[in-house]
Amino acid sequence: MEKLINDFSLGLFVWMGVLFVLLVLLLKKYAWKPILDAVNEREEGIKNALASAEDAKKEMQNLTANNEKLVKEARAERDTMLKEAQEIKNKMISEAKEEAKEEASKMIELAKTSIEQEKQAALAHLKKEVGEISLVIAEAVVKKELAAKEDQVKLIEGMLKDVILN
Amino acid sequence: MRRKFLIKKITFLLFLVSFVSVAQHNEKSDHTNAPQEKDLKTSIKEYINHHLLDSYDFGLYSYTDSHGEKVHIGFPLPVILWDDGLKVFMSSKFHHGETLAKVDGNYYKLYHNKIYKTDANGTITYDKEHHPTNAKPLDFSITKNVVFIFLVSLLMFFMFKRMAKNYQKNALPKGVGRLLEPIILYIRDDIAIPNIGEKHYKKYMSYLLTVFFFIWIINLLGLTPLGVNVTNNIAVTLVLALITFILTTVTANKNYWGHIFWMPGVPKLMRIVLAPIELLGMVIKPFSLMIRLYANITAGHIVLMSIIGLMFIFKSWIGSPLSFGLAFALSLLELLVAALQAYIFTMLSALYFGSAVEEHDDHH
């Protein structure tokens, strides 16, 4: 202890005090404050950048989710549209078929009636023709039969008989 | 580019200075009457003691040349005394304690590294315990330590100013800042904030950073061969401890004083007993800071130099390599101690500041 007190130098104490306090003040103004401020600022910056990156990521996720949703919706819509179209197509086809069938049957019916009519007409015509032919034949036959006088008389008589009988 | 130029300039200056001083001190010294064959052990001991002390000239080394003359390599420093007026002269007037310095009709003698006022013959009178009784003028000399403190302060100022300047251009550190920034951040995040608290730490940061780098750099430079031990001066560590003490006391809040004079949570009688103890503790804390730094560095240097001194005592071929190896290992240890002491001083200062601004008092 005595050596310590003996070694103590007031001059060194004063110089050290002055120089060190000066050093602290100067460094505070020209070094520590700018350095710590810069470091703080940088750390703030990094923190903010990280936060905004996180936000961007979240937004991105949201966007992707939205997009997926949209795509899904669009797909569903497309599917329903396709389905509807299919249905409409089927319906149209079946309707067309039905109509065609109806039309066909109608036409067939018409054809049938016209055929019937034609047939009737043809039959009537045929009857007439046959009648005419038979008249001609009958004329010819009659002409031949009634060539002789007695045959004519016989026929008249016969006819008369028939008439009387009737 | 500019820095390289600066380094070159400084190196050149150092060279110049050492050559100039060789010329200056190569004078014939008149101590031929001193016993030449001093005991080697005592001379080593004296050398160590001398090395640990402050001195009035910046001595790099000294040797005895072939003519038996003591040659000192170094340069003198100004001596500033207050003895009925300011007396300023260069320490070369003492011729390393061999002659008296006559200034304005007063005679001053350098005796055991202290300046005493004497008569024209340089007589020193002693008391019973062989202490000189001569008057000591107030001594504000620019000693070796003062020069070294100044140089380190200058170095620190320019180093950190450059680092700060770099941040204006670039958010990332460059050059030496890459090494220093993690240390600064460490002091902030692991010393200041945990001990002082997020709210108050800012006002202490300048002191903590300065004290850490000052002690560290000055300890490291003290380990170089040309280096000067500064932190093994009680005056230097006293200044540092005193600043910690003053800062603690000035910034202390009500809670701190409450804990000292009227300790909460203990019986009334105990509070009265505790008050003087706490008051004493308030002073002992910085006192321990002062002694710890002083003792660690002094002890390290004494042991290191003693081991180097062993080399001259064991003149065998085993002694030198052994002592070299030991000195090498110890130097490595001292490198650690240099940083450790800086860390401990900063850490404990932060702890004391923390106790001064602590706000909640329900943790006892």
Q: B118: helix, coil or strand? A: strand
B151 touches chain A (CB under 8 A): no
Best of B52, B88, B149, B218 to substitute, by most chain A Cβ atoms within 10 angstroms, is B149
* Cβ within 8 Å of residue B193, ≥6 positions away: B201
Is the pLDDT at A1 greater than 70? The verdict is no
Residue B317 burial by Cβ neighbours in a 10 Å radius (0-12, 13-18, 19+): exposed
More confident residue, B361 or A72: A72
Is the pLDDT at A60 greater than 80? The verdict is yes
Give yes or no for a contact between B90 and B80, defined as CB atoms under 8 angstroms apart: no
B138 touches chain A (CB under 8 A): yes
A-B C-beta contacts closer than 8 Å: 121
Contact (CB<8Å) A38/B207: no
Cα–Cα distance measured from residue A7 to residue A29, given in angstroms and rounded to the nearest whole number: 34
Best of A5, A28, A35, A46 to substitute, by most chain B Cβ atoms within 10 angstroms, is A35
Distance from CA of B160 to the nearest CA of A (A): 5
pLDDT in tens, chain B (364 residues): 555 555 565 555 554 444 444 433 333 334 444 444 457 777 777 777 777 777 777 776 777 777 767 777 777 788 888 777 777 777 777 776 677 777 777 777 777 777 777 777 777 777 777 777 777 778 888 888 888 899 999 999 999 988 888 888 877 888 888 888 899 999 999 999 999 988 888 889 999 999 999 999 999 988 887 667 788 888 889 999 999 999 998 988 888 888 877 777 778 887 888 888 888 988 899 999 999 998 888 888 888 888 888 777 777 677 778 888 888 898 899 899 999 999 999 999 999 999 888 876 555 4
Distance from CA of B189 to the nearest CA of A (A): 12
Of B143, B206, B240, the CB nearest to A12: B143
Dump pLDDT digits (tens) for A125-159: 888 888 888 888 888 877 777 777 787 788 788 88
- B168 to chain A: closest CA residue: A38
Contact (CB<8Å) A15/B243: no
Of B163, B172, B235, the CB nearest to A12: B235
Best of B167, B189, B301, B345 to substitute, by most chain A Cβ atoms within 10 angstroms, is B167
Contact (CB<8Å) B214/A23: yes
Q: What is the pLDDT of residue B13?
A: 52
Give yes or no for a contact between B311 and B40, defined as CB atoms under 8 angstroms apart: no
Contact (CB<8Å) A12/B206: no
Q: A163: helix, coil or strand? A: helix
Helix axes of B319-357 and B254-261: crossing angle, nearest 10 degrees? 100
pTM over 0.80: no
Q: List CB contacts (< 8 A) between A33 and chain B.
A: 206
Of A10, A31, A38, the CB nearest to B139: A10
Average of pLDDT values for A33-48? 90
What tokens does B51 get? 């090395």
Of A8, A39, A41, the CB nearest to B235: A8
CB atoms < 10 A from the CB of A4, how many? 13
DSSP secondary structure string, B53-98?
S--SEEEEEEEE-TTS-EEEEEEE-EEEEESSSEEEEEGGGGTTTT
Of B140, B205, B233, the CB nearest to A36: B205
Is the pLDDT at A12 greater than 80? The verdict is yes
Q: What is the pLDDT of residue B8?
A: 60
Taking the alpha carbons of B226, B231, B232, B236 in that order, is the dihedral positive or negative? positive
DSSP state of B28: P
More confident residue, A104 or B126: A104
Q: What is the pLDDT of residue B29?
A: 39
Contact (CB<8Å) B171/A12: no
Cα–Cα distance measured from residue B280 to residue A80, given in angstroms and rounded to the nearest whole number: 90
B188 touches chain A (CB under 8 A): yes
Contact (CB<8Å) B240/A20: yes
Q: B50: helix, coil or strand? A: helix
Q: List CB contacts (< 8 A) between A22 and chain B.
A: 153
Best of B49, B130, B174, B238 to substitute, by most chain A Cβ atoms within 10 angstroms, is B238
Q: What is the pLDDT of residue A130?
A: 85
Distance from CA of A5 to the nearest CA of B (A): 8
